[in-house]
Amino acid sequence: MLDTVRNVGQKTYFRKDQRWQDSTVTPEQAKNAIRVVQFSKEYFDLAAAHGGMLAKYIAFDSAADELAAAADGLFAHADALITLSALGEAPPASQPGSGALCMPWSLAGLPAMSLPLSRGARGLPIGIQLIGRRGDDAKLLSVAAWITDAAIAKAPEPI
């Protein structure tokens, strides 16, 4: 399952018994681990002592699980979702683009891809983003191939 391993900095964590575990922890250490209630004082004290980024990551991870569960309902009658890749034409290569429109899907662990199907007034790509059901990357690639074939057959003029 794709949601069973996560990398945070130089560390790798895996999911076992509904908990994230450090891959360097021995089975004996895991067995004797003290359970810390998420968002308790002890939780934040440990996070402060061992790096604030871990607390942020765990909070984001919880939000990701909720977002992924909510996203499952979006695919009840669809193989993929289509959204914008960006709010307009791609920026020049010297400027970073924004990941704001793809971040929620990535956070939820959903497969997503961008297809540059047109060109804007400056000749730079304008794309759509396809989002697939969790664990169904093959279906997303199939939908992308179908859309790409249809787009090539009727390539639009730049706007």
Q: Is residue 124 part of a domain?
A: yes
**pLDDT, position 98:** 77
What confidence category does residue 100 fall into, taking pLDDT thresholds of 50, 70 and 90? Answer: confident
Tokens of 82: 């289509």
Compute the average pLDDT of residues 61-84.
83
Tokens of 110: 């959903």
- In contact, 11 and 23? CB cutoff 8 Å: yes
Of residues 91 and 30, more confidently modeled: 91
Mean residue pLDDT across the chain: 78
Q: Is residue 159 part of a domain?
A: no
Do 19 and 41 belong together in one domain? yes
What confidence category does residue 131 fall into, taking pLDDT thresholds of 50, 70 and 90? Answer: very high
Number of structural domains (the chain) is: 2
**pLDDT, position 1:** 40
Task: Please give the residue range of the domain that contains residue 20.
Answer: 2-72
Backbone angles phi, psi at 49, to 5 degrees: -75, -30
**pLDDT, position 55:** 61
Distance from C-alpha of 66 to C-alpha of 79, rounded to nearest angstrom: 21
